[in-house]
A and B are shown apart, each in its own frame.
Chain A
Amino acid sequence: MNVTPYRIILCDGTACINSGSRKLAAALQEQLAQHGLTDKTTVGLSGCLGMCDKGPILVVNPGYTIYGRVTQDDIPEIVEEHLVHGRPLARLAIQEDHLYNRFFRVFGDAKFFGKQMRITLRNCGIIDPENIDDYLSLRGYEALAKALTDMTPEQVIAEVEKAGLRGRGGAGFPTGRKWKLTAAEKAAPKYIICNADEGDPGAFMDRSAIEGDPHTVVEGMAIGGYAIGAQQGFVYIRAEYPLAIRRIKRAIEDARSAGLLGKNILGSNFSFDIEIRLGAGAFVCGEETALIHSVEGMRGMPRPRPPYPAAVGLYGRPTVINNVETWANIPVIILDGANWFRTVGTETSKGTKVFALAGKVVNTGLIEVPMGTTLREIIYDVGGGIPFGKKIKAAQTGGPSGGCLPEQYLDTPIDYESLARAGSIMGSGGMIVIDEDSCMVDVARFFLEFTQDESCGKCTPCREGTKRMLEILTRITAGKGLPGDIEKLERLGTMIRKASLCGLGQSAPNPVLSTIKNFREEYEEHIHDKKCRAKVCKSLISYEIGEKCIGCGACRRVCPVSAISGAAKTRHTIDQDKCVRCGMCFNTCKFEAIAKG
């Protein structure tokens, strides 16, 4: 009989909750009770570990055994084998080598974690995000204490500046300089804002970070407040993130109860508190001036800059706005020092970057890598490559504001300048892998549809121009492209990029312009040859039944528009006028008799 006191951690991130992690808790308690282990075993929750496609994740400590894709039915076996008999269950364990790095101690998929370096996510998947003691036990709030007791505000700013930290929201403005500018302003009061209005489709860096380790954001903001002389902070977070909201709320309350927020923090003269403001999900509210308007209770529309928020921000006062990931870096920089932080990353881009890896890649999920890691390393080492042996076509970074980089750019190191040089942007951390089955015109159309829909409507280029670009792209994918359409897209795109009021409009044409630059031939094929090589654009493909057909009738039965005819045991035919190109016949045929062309 095993007597080891086990601590079991259930991942309680949104992805794992969606794959059923919360059903496991009850089953687990039941099994523990059955085996009389209830007193000896603790069950805790954690934030996102990053292995979202392998969820739900269950970790057994000591030993850091990570179980993936656990179902309720697996629980009795895990309890019986691992907890009672001390024999980790190989069948479910995600386990290769044992790894240890500075901030992250974990068993697991060596390739997935091997090239990662978790600084901002250092506690995610390790601590219970709703338990301040967990955070405190891992040097939580030590950085704040250090700043308040050993450092002047100027020293804090100097340290952040020296660390070379740049804004992780996408633009990469040096954080230290932003703080310095705000600190130098005479107007008061000043404000701190955490931008958690993550809006890129498919991106979930900020959500996971707050869900997994909300206190590090709170601590970072408090340090920022001390540095610039602000007493009030706001977390602007999307209302669509209920779990993250709950956790950041809880973190703020717990920090307040512990004297880590509020009046005279840790006996110092510094007072700082944080309030939460919910965003209604408008993408443009990630733009800082629109965000400020939204916090003020007005329509979230950007305004021209200058003046910058550092001088005229929230309620017209000097304001520092940084995003979640930027704030999460602050405690580490203060604790371990700028000198150490500078050892991570490249010449111009220090530290790490979190990415939400998605698309046609084996391991989709949340990753954090040092700046300078190449796209290839991310996609093939961390991401495990492209599934089903397909060929990679492009990597899309920066979400709807970013660009598509073709295969020849895969050795581009991830940093602000290199990505910009290659024709994309760092962005806030979306990374979508595109394989040969994707049509680049369609990809561009997808992103533009998003930005066009999310345009605030204030400035003409973005409001009217993206609409016209989308119309042109739509007609190209519908096989109605006209000669000159590519040039029109370029003309509009360049104008919108250079003439729009805010970052949303200025970057909206990027997916289109970068795909035209790198995949122009696909556009030309669509327009001139009426051909979609990836066979994605429905209007440009057709299905034909070939000689392999044995006349089984399966395709005829699934066709929703009765476009297929043919007698039993004779070759069937498709009426092209009726066919809606849904592809159901193609997927149904067991004899590979149907060709997509």
Chain B
Amino acid sequence: MDNSKKITITINDKQYKVDPGQTIMQAADTCGYRIPRLCYHPKLSVEGACRVCIVQVEGMKNFVASCCYPVADGMKIYTNTKEVRQARRDIVELLVDNHPEDCHTCERDGNCELQRLVYAMGIRHRHFTGERKHYEKDLSSTSVIRDPDKCILCGRCVRMCSEIQGVHCLGQAYRGFNTVVMPAYNMPFAESVCSTCGQCINVCPTAAFVEKNHTQELFEKLNDKSLVKVAQFAPSVRAAIGEAFGQPMGRNMEGQLVAALRRLGFDYVFDTQFSADLTIMEEGSELLERLQSGGPLPLITSCSSAWMKYMEQFYPEFIENISTCKSPMSMASSLFKTYWADKMKLDPKKVLSVAVMCCTAKKFEAARPELEVHGLRTTDIVVTTREAAWMIKSAGIDFVNIRPEKFDEPLGLSSGAGTIFGVTGGVMEAAIRTAYELYTGETLVDIEVNDIRGLKGVKEGRITMDGQELHVAVAHGLGNAHQVMEMVREDRHRFQFIEIMGCPGGCIGGGGQPYATANSIPLDEECLKARAQALYDLDRSKTIRRSHDNPDVQRLYREYLGRPLSEKAHELLHTHYKAKTPRGIVSRSLKVV
């Protein structure tokens, strides 16, 4: 900004020139002060609830919450007077006085914003201890556990759920000391409109929301000698898991993860990116078929489990527009228990199929009965990136220094197209790379589709194939998905192909990814960009960058499936969806147009 338009403020008796139109907190951030904060999150609306960020402003009777008060020229701000320090300390003590004192046994020990704050505020003893709230944990969901005892009512989850995700599942209920965050009607998560995306976990400063933990079950199964243990992991897991081991953001740890999973006890480690390539073959063919037969269009992607549950609840009238493809995880799992088990002459019942995912919703997906093949559940256990990182630590595996290893074959080889599935726009880009060639018979030269890359909430692009122009849209985060779907509702012919990912940034920002570190914030844009870059770099480093060029995929079709959309492919790789109407959602038949 033009320097002449800057205003002068004083912080702790020192003058600073800052841009007008910001809050005290934002201005102080530019002056080298990071005023302690808790409920504030730059991506969410300003709540002003926790009062941790209070400062003194000369001439004002009361403290001012710096997150929501605008700076003004000549304003004299004090961030660290004795009075404000004591008040801030007492506020944090009040939070911790109503919080279980079980840090040592808590899921977030060492990774908890409240814990850090208590330390930073210098709370070494308590003045005000008294009654503490107690509620039952909600364990009903396949994916997310809600533990109100640990909730400090910062409201980040509520804002995340409504403002970013547009699900509006969580809200505050009751008043005062009895206030508690819960789904509408205090319904168990499992019966609520929760999409299971897990973004509440990502933004929660404590352990009031955590994923349903499957690590113990997995450890047990890994010790079962009668089972053949097969793992797969999603593209974005490799781009993020290093953060849980103190590695810089965006470091690709693919080889280390393969090696670590073998040391955990897996007999085979395959790549979800392989089945991502397979997804492109199926979905790309589906798109071409629909384009040629006239519909139903737009075709909408189905890889994101949270998006699928959201769609079934809020947009069931578009079920026929949803690709019938299973997600890459479920495609891989289906193959483990059919194609691969046949090949290996194994009893499918003895194959333990485990997925390491960036995602909590994949736990919900894995339990969907409609995904069973020959009466068998295909993905037996899903653990998140966080859970996998913990298991590796717990098993005493030297993740950072381990020698990288390669995936097993034949379900371990992938193209660069499969890699970029993990980032918003990636599925679309991968699909274009293949569909273009299948449609036109020519090779797409410039395969990087920049229009649909980046963190803009809704991206649109146009691709011309043989004179036919495809209008495509990409959305990430369910709130953005809602926007795109409303566009479709208004004009069904506006788009021909839509990619939707349930989480901000796509899978790289999934609800199961490592917690923000002490120097970062949840959903930090720089972090998402770094993870995305890791996947784009991996794509670029590969010689095979188009799914249909993947020789193992070609072999699979040759040996087993025949061709995309064949009967066999439909049996193993496709599924169907149906409308869900949890309480609180008006059935579509009642909808007034």
Minimal Cβ-Cβ distance residue in A for B52:
A460
Shortest CB distance B514–A (Å): 28
Q: Kindly supply a per-residue 1/0 record for chain A positions 283-302, scoring 1 wherever the CB is within 8 Å of any chain B CB and 0 otherwise.
A: 01000000000000001010
Q: Are the C-beta atoms of B95 and A460 separated by less than 8 Å?
A: yes
Complex-state Cα separation, A455 to B91, whole angstroms:
16
- The verdict on B172 contacting chain A, using a C-beta distance below 8 Å, is yes
Minimal Cβ-Cβ distance residue in A for B50:
A460
Question: Which of A142-150, A387-395, A498-506 is the interface stretch?
Answer: A498-506
- The verdict on A335 contacting chain B, using a C-beta distance below 8 Å, is no
Q: Are the C-beta atoms of A454 and B51 separated by less than 8 Å?
A: no
Q: Are the C-beta atoms of B87 and A498 separated by less than 8 Å?
A: yes
Complex-state Cα separation, A462 to B506, whole angstroms:
39
Interface size class of B (residues with CB under 8 A): 35 or more
Q: Are the C-beta atoms of A491 and B90 separated by less than 8 Å?
A: yes
CB neighbours (8 Å) of B176 from chain A are 452-457, 462-463, 466-467
CB neighbours (8 Å) of B95 from chain A are 460, 464
Q: Are the C-beta atoms of A457 and B90 separated by less than 8 Å?
A: no
Q: Are the C-beta atoms of A459 and B68 separated by less than 8 Å?
A: no
CB neighbours (8 Å) of B179 from chain A are 456-458, 463
- The verdict on A495 contacting chain B, using a C-beta distance below 8 Å, is yes
- The verdict on A54 contacting chain B, using a C-beta distance below 8 Å, is no
- A303 in contact with B175 given A460-B94, A491-B90 (CB within 8 Å): no
Counting chain A CB atoms within 10 Å of each CB, the highest count among B50, B87, B95 belongs to B87
- The verdict on A227 contacting chain B, using a C-beta distance below 8 Å, is no
Of the residues A299, A488, A500, contact of B51 by C-beta under 8 Å: A500
- The verdict on A282 contacting chain B, using a C-beta distance below 8 Å, is yes
CB neighbours (8 Å) of B51 from chain A are 459-461, 499-501
Of the residues B68, B131, B152, contact of A467 by C-beta under 8 Å: B131
Complex-state Cα separation, A161 to B174, whole angstroms:
40
- The verdict on A205 contacting chain B, using a C-beta distance below 8 Å, is no
Q: Are the C-beta atoms of A501 and B48 separated by less than 8 Å?
A: yes
Q: Are the C-beta atoms of A471 and B130 separated by less than 8 Å?
A: yes
Complex-state Cα separation, A454 to B175, whole angstroms:
7
CB neighbours (8 Å) of B153 from chain A are 457-458, 460, 463
Complex-state Cα separation, A19 to B549, whole angstroms:
90
Shortest CB distance A172–B (Å): 14
Residues of A413-460 contacting chain B, CB below 8 A: 452-460
Residues of A454-494 contacting chain B, CB below 8 A: 454-468, 471, 488, 491-492
CB neighbours (8 Å) of B196 from chain A are none
Q: Are the C-beta atoms of B70 and A306 separated by less than 8 Å?
A: yes
Complex-state Cα separation, A304 to B90, whole angstroms:
21
- The verdict on A277 contacting chain B, using a C-beta distance below 8 Å, is no
CB neighbours (8 Å) of B50 from chain A are 459-460
Complex-state Cα separation, A458 to B180, whole angstroms:
10
Q: Are the C-beta atoms of B62 and A499 separated by less than 8 Å?
A: yes
Of the residues B63, B130, B175, contact of A457 by C-beta under 8 Å: B175
- A304 in contact with B46 given A299-B171, A468-B97, A488-B128 (CB within 8 Å): yes
CB neighbours (8 Å) of A499 from chain B are 51, 54, 62-63, 87, 91
Q: Are the C-beta atoms of B90 and A492 separated by less than 8 Å?
A: yes
- A457 in contact with B174 given A497-B62, A500-B51 (CB within 8 Å): yes
Shortest CB distance B92–A (Å): 8
CB neighbours (8 Å) of B558 from chain A are none
Complex-state Cα separation, A457 to B131, whole angstroms:
16
Shortest CB distance B390–A (Å): 31
Q: Are the C-beta atoms of B68 and A495 separated by less than 8 Å?
A: no
- A501 in contact with B49 given A463-B179, A468-B97 (CB within 8 Å): yes
Of the residues A304, A466, A500, contact of B68 by C-beta under 8 Å: A304
Q: Are the C-beta atoms of B175 and A495 separated by less than 8 Å?
A: no
Minimal Cβ-Cβ distance residue in A for B171:
A299
Of the residues B48, B98, B155, contact of A304 by C-beta under 8 Å: B48
Complex-state Cα separation, A362 to B69, whole angstroms:
48
Complex-state Cα separation, A455 to B61, whole angstroms:
22
- The verdict on B27 contacting chain A, using a C-beta distance below 8 Å, is no
CB neighbours (8 Å) of B68 from chain A are 304
Interface size class of A (residues with CB under 8 A): 35 or more
What does DSSP make chain B's interface, helix, strand, loop or mixed?
loop
CB neighbours (8 Å) of B91 from chain A are 460-461, 465, 495, 499
CB neighbours (8 Å) of B155 from chain A are 458
Shortest CB distance A291–B (Å): 15
Q: Kindly supply a per-residue 1/0 record for chain B positions 92-117, scoring 1 wherever the CB is within 8 Å of any chain A CB and 0 otherwise.
A: 00110110000000000000000000
Q: Are the C-beta atoms of B175 and A506 separated by less than 8 Å?
A: no
Shortest CB distance B163–A (Å): 13
Shortest CB distance A469–B (Å): 9
Q: Are the C-beta atoms of A461 and B94 separated by less than 8 Å?
A: yes
CB neighbours (8 Å) of A454 from chain B are 175-176
CB neighbours (8 Å) of A455 from chain B are 175-177
Q: Are the C-beta atoms of A457 and B177 separated by less than 8 Å?
A: yes
Q: Are the C-beta atoms of B49 and A458 separated by less than 8 Å?
A: yes
CB neighbours (8 Å) of B70 from chain A are 306
Q: Are the C-beta atoms of A495 and B128 separated by less than 8 Å?
A: no
Q: Are the C-beta atoms of A465 and B94 separated by less than 8 Å?
A: yes
Minimal Cβ-Cβ distance residue in B for A494:
B87
Minimal Cβ-Cβ distance residue in A for B175:
A457
Complex-state Cα separation, A500 to B90, whole angstroms:
13
Minimal Cβ-Cβ distance residue in A for B38:
A460
- The verdict on B394 contacting chain A, using a C-beta distance below 8 Å, is no
CB neighbours (8 Å) of A465 from chain B are 90-91, 94, 128
CB neighbours (8 Å) of B130 from chain A are 467-468, 471
- The verdict on B178 contacting chain A, using a C-beta distance below 8 Å, is yes
CB neighbours (8 Å) of A456 from chain B are 175-176, 179
Shortest CB distance A460–B (Å): 5
CB neighbours (8 Å) of B94 from chain A are 460-461, 464-465, 468
Counting chain A CB atoms within 10 Å of each CB, the highest count among B51, B69, B174 belongs to B51
- A488 in contact with B97 given A495-B87, A501-B65 (CB within 8 Å): no
Q: Are the C-beta atoms of B172 and A457 separated by less than 8 Å?
A: yes
Minimal Cβ-Cβ distance residue in B for A299:
B172
Complex-state Cα separation, A452 to B86, whole angstroms:
22
- The verdict on B5 contacting chain A, using a C-beta distance below 8 Å, is no
Q: Are the C-beta atoms of A304 and B69 separated by less than 8 Å?
A: yes
Residues of B362-402 contacting chain A, CB below 8 A: none
- A498 in contact with B49 given A299-B171, A464-B95, A491-B90 (CB within 8 Å): no
- A301 in contact with B172 given A457-B177, A460-B95 (CB within 8 Å): yes
Q: Are the C-beta atoms of A467 and B177 separated by less than 8 Å?
A: yes
Shortest CB distance B57–A (Å): 12
CB neighbours (8 Å) of B87 from chain A are 495, 498-499
Counting chain B CB atoms within 10 Å of each CB, the highest count among A456, A467, A492 belongs to A467
Complex-state Cα separation, A284 to B176, whole angstroms:
10
- A460 in contact with B49 given A455-B177, A467-B176, A468-B130 (CB within 8 Å): yes
Shortest CB distance B171–A (Å): 7
Q: Are the C-beta atoms of A304 and B177 separated by less than 8 Å?
A: no
CB neighbours (8 Å) of B174 from chain A are 457
Complex-state Cα separation, A463 to B181, whole angstroms:
14
- The verdict on B127 contacting chain A, using a C-beta distance below 8 Å, is yes
Q: Kindly supply a per-residue 1/0 record for chain B positions 300-343, scoring 1 wherever the CB is within 8 Å of any chain A CB and 0 otherwise.
A: 00000000000000000000000000000000000000000000
By a beta-carbon cutoff of 8 Å, the part of chain A in contact with chain B is 282, 284, 299, 301, 303-304, 306, 452-468, 471, 488, 491-492, 495, 497-501, 506
20 A-B pairs with CB atoms under 8 Å apart are A282-B175, A299-B172, A304-B48, A304-B68, A306-B69, A452-B176, A453-B176, A455-B176, A456-B179, A457-B177, A459-B50, A461-B94, A463-B176, A463-B179, A465-B91, A467-B177, A471-B131, A499-B63, A499-B91, A501-B51
5 tightest A-B contacts by CB?
A457-B179, A304-B48, A455-B176, A464-B94, A304-B68
Other 18 A-B pairs with CB < 8 A, given A304-B68, A306-B69, A456-B175: A454-B175, A454-B176, A456-B179, A457-B172, A460-B51, A460-B95, A460-B153, A461-B91, A462-B176, A464-B95, A464-B177, A467-B98, A467-B177, A488-B127, A491-B90, A499-B91, A501-B48, A501-B65
